[in-house]
Amino acid sequence: MRYLSVFIILSIVLCSCKSKGVLKDDDFNKDKLIEKIDSQLKYSPVLKEDFDLSKRRIFPRTLEEGAIGLVSKRDWTSGFYPGVLWFTYHLTGNTEWKNQAIKFTELLESEQFNASNHDIGFKMMASYGLGYKYSKNEAYKNILIQSAQTLITRFDENVGCIRSWDHHKDKWEFPVIIDNMMNLELLYWAWKETGDSVFYNIANTHAKTTMKNHFRSDYSTYHVVNYDTITGVAKSKVTHQGYADDSSWARGEAWALYGYTMAYRETQDAEFLKQAEKVANYIINVAKLPEDFVPTWDFSLKDVADEPKDASAAAVMASALYELSTFTANKENKEAYLKVADGMVTSLSTDNYFNTQGADKGFLLRHSTGAKPGGSEIDVPLIYADYYYLEALSRKIKIQNN
């Protein structure tokens, strides 16, 4: 088997920040890294034979005071644990991981009809989407198509977007968050599988409306845009998880980068590629990543010494940058994307971020931040950080093998 290259970053100068360059060769041996992943995931309590799958909360999301934080299938993160299992099966070839992935995926079957928010795309593509990719189970295809049909019921023609949330109706008339770009992958998938252009048109309209209203001149992004449902005009632009309304929430930038890279992959629309490249430029050259390439939870913070990192943002960015490197026609951009993605995966794979064996109930990565302003999930493992880290690693291996 080939090995992941040793990402030795000795003298990269990026945004006037020098890389630490203190790396260990063993951290980037593909076989050993996959072995670490395989070994660590086995410590999850939900994999034990006596774990009760009939309980309401069964999907790992985070740690809560040292105990595993479990959520129900209705939570927006519920699909990521099955996705972690599918990726681990893909990386290891071990059918036991496939069996576990099938078990946890199929516990989400009823979510294909859950129209209560936009997160059905996150949930179903991470679980049934990967499951269909790696198993070709036709029943999964039908569930995904129904999921897409459920998602488009939240589209408003006057606004030109899919409504994100139904809560806080006293604050927002029609809220759309930058995260919602990620859910469009389900619609593009359904368009290609069914040939029904309704899915394509809604996804494209949402992406272009978001491009118009969610971005500042430097291509940093607002978190929440609130629309008037009569006129379709953006009434306000605020944050829910970032530092301030006009700040640059790190994971929001990651969602934007990933979302427009994915939209270009699915449509070959040059406008989406240009948008993804502009967001990448903001992250790399304007926001200024720290020495280890893993951002603090918001790029706009002035004093970051005591602020928590967000490994989940780095994982999403790395995965997106690997894919974007395969699309861009600009050689310098390609090299920059690969260097930054390699720097992120390098850091996330070392002891600074990757858990020691047996720690943290089987989660792979430490030091993620969910919602700092609300005091929620600060400096903890998060299941979606693990998911996008595994996706980034898979994309890195594919690029090297090609």
Residue 208 is part of a domain; what is its CATH number? 1.50.10.10
| Cα 256-112-43 angle, rounded to 5 deg | 75
As for how many domains the chain has, the answer is: 1
Domain-located, residue 55: yes
Domain-located, residue 17: yes
Walk along the chain (402 residues) and give the pLDDT tens digit of each residue: 333 332 323 233 333 333 343 344 455 688 899 999 999 999 999 999 999 999 999 999 999 999 999 999 999 999 999 999 999 999 999 999 999 999 999 999 999 999 999 999 999 999 999 999 999 999 999 999 999 999 999 999 999 999 999 988 889 999 999 999 999 999 999 999 999 999 999 999 999 999 999 999 999 999 999 999 999 999 999 999 999 999 999 999 999 999 999 999 999 999 999 999 999 999 999 998 999 999 999 999 999 989 999 999 999 999 999 999 999 999 999 999 999 999 999 999 999 999 999 999 999 999 999 999 999 999 999 999 999 999 999 999 999 998
For residue 28, the model assigns a pLDDT of 61
Domain-located, residue 380: yes
For residue 7, the model assigns a pLDDT of 31
Under DSSP, the state recorded for 355 is P
Cβ neighbors of 49 (< 8 A, separation 6 or more) are none
- Count CA within 13 A, CB hemisphere, residue 25: 1
What span, in angstroms and rounded, lies between the C-alpha atoms of 300 and 297?
A: 9
Cβ neighbors of 203 (< 8 A, separation 6 or more) are 184, 187, 188, 191, 263, 266
Q: Tokens for 143? A: 């569930």
Domain-located, residue 7: no
Residue 222's domain comprises 13-401
Domain-located, residue 5: no
Domain-located, residue 117: yes
For residue 3, the model assigns a pLDDT of 33
Domain-located, residue 73: yes
This prediction's pTM: 0.93
**Which residues are catalytically annotated?**
119, 179
How many C-beta atoms lie closer than 10 Å to residue 356's C-beta?
A: 10
Domain-located, residue 297: yes
Q: Which residues pair with 59 in a beta bridge?
A: 71
From the list 102, 20, 93, 18, the residue with the least C-alpha distance to 397 is: 93
For residue 10, the model assigns a pLDDT of 27
